[in-house]
């Protein structure tokens, strides 16, 4: 277990010549985060432009350099974040000479790269995703995600991160468990949600500093009407009506059936709209003292005035300056 009272952070920059330079004392505003809808981790910090062996740090730490954050909690230490610098920005004001850095882990290249990929019928999820990692030179770490046989699929000009997510989503639709994709120490892993061995408990009375729990029905859709093609007078007849949570009132969307779609296909597409927008939006977040080893996709337990139970982390921001973290969560299934 981590004793947050003993928690310290070290920031290391790996220079072009391989030198591992500890810049912890020169850095401020250090943080790292994993966002919802993204697979890459983001690191950010500001560096005072001190000199190392006669050279300003801004000449040594630049785009392409690797940075890593190591957390030490007294009786244990671990690398908790790693990224390659993609943004570098200097700022000079009077006596202040600093530069800011933004870095991403290995999966960032998959978010920014498009490809055409053909998945042959019967290819397993693991094999298809492993091939993407291999082609982009990313080692495969742990894989406990879904592995089902896929139908023949062609991806054209798709971002690789989207291809991976689509393969995994397809597996889930076929009954597989949900997953998280993330990188650690230079390798990519696909893990079952909530598979972490250590589950931390957070209590509003002792360890949660801020809790937010909001429910909104503003964007709720409760009915989808399927309409056919126009007649000679421009009118479209209703061919099906798919109802959802109509107890919140009628919030209707129109789905226009395409000429090459039969009614069953059109109704299935209408149901997809309800599946995506047919439930109230529930936003839950917890702020607590930092546990630097907690990652997106992990399971935690929490007790607040409005909820008690297990939650899955869908986004997380670690702030080393304040030794705190903010977790966006959803109730565990």
pLDDT of residue 167: 96
Its pTM stands at 0.87
User: 4-105 domain in CATH 2.40.160?
Assistant: no
Q: Which CATH architecture has domain 109-192?
A: 3-Layer(bab) Sandwich (3.55)
CB atoms within 10 A of CB 298: 24
Q: What is the mean pLDDT of residues 9-23?
A: 94
Closest CA to 16 of 53, 65, 89, 69: 65
Domain residue extents for the chain: 4-105, 109-192, 201-216+281-331, 223-277
Q: What is the mean pLDDT of residues 227-233?
A: 82
Sequence-distant (≥ 6) Cβ neighbours of residue 133 within 8 angstroms:
139, 140, 188
Q: What is the mean pLDDT of residues 11-22?
A: 94
* Three-class DSSP category at 126: helix
The 10s digit of each residue's pLDDT in 235-289 is 888 889 999 999 999 999 999 988 777 888 889 889 989 998 999 998 999 999 9
Contact 176/146 with Cβ under 8 angstroms? Answer: yes
In angstroms, the CA 244 to CA 250 distance is 9
Asked which of 39-48, 83-92, 96-105, 258-267 is least confident by mean pLDDT, the reply is 258-267
Distance of CA 11 to the CA centre of its chain: 23
Examine the pLDDT at 226 and tell me if it is beyond 90: yes
Examine the pLDDT at 93 and tell me if it is beyond 80: no
Tokens in use for 41? 């981790």
pLDDT of residue 235: 84
In angstroms, the CA 27 to CA 217 distance is 43
Helix (H) or strand (E) holding 164: helix 160-173
Same fold flag, 4-105 and 109-192: no
The 10s digit of each residue's pLDDT in 99-131 is 999 999 999 999 999 999 999 999 999 999 999
């Amino acid at each position: 277990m981590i004793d947050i009272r003993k928690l310290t952070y070290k920031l290391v920059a790996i220079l072009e010549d391989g030198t591992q330079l500890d810049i912890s004392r020169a850095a401020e505003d250090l943080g790292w985060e994993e966002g919802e809808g993204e697979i890459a981790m983001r690191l950010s910090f500001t560096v005072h432009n001190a000199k190392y062996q006669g050279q300003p740090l801004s000449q040594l730490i630049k785009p392409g350099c690797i940075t890593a954050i190591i957390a030490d909690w007294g009786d244990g230490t671990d690398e908790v974040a790693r990224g390659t610098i993609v943004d570098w920005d200097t700022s000079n004001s009077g006596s202040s000479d600093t530069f800011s850095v933004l870095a991403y882990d290995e999966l960032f290249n998959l978010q920014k790269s498009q490809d055409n990929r053909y998945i042959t019928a019967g290819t397993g999820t693991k094999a298809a995703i492993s091939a993407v990692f291999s082609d982009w030179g990313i080692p495969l770490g742990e894989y406990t995600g879904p592995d089902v046989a896929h139908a023949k699929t062609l991806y054209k000009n798709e971002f690789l991160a989207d291809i991976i997510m689509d393969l995994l989503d397809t597996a889930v639709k076929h009954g597989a468990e949900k997953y998280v994709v993330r990188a650690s120490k230079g390798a990519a892993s696909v893990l079952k949600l909530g598979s972490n061995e250590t589950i931390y408990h957070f209590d509003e009375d002792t360890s949660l500093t801020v809790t937010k729990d909001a429910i909104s029905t503003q964007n709720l859709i409760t009915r989808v009407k399927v309409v056919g093609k126009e007649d000679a007078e421009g009118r479209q007849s209703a061919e099906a009506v798919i109802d959802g949570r109509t107890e919140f009132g009628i919030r209707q969307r129109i789905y226009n059936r395409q000429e090459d779609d039969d009614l069953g296909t059109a109704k299935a597409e209408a149901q997809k709209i309800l599946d995506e927008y047919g439930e109230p939006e529930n936003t839950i977040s917890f702020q607590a003292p930092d546990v630097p080893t907690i990652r997106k996709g992990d399971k935690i337990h929490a007790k607040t005035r409005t909820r008690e139970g297990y939650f899955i982390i869908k986004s997380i921001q670690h702030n080393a300056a304040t030794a705190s973290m903010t977790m966006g969560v959803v109730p565990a299934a």
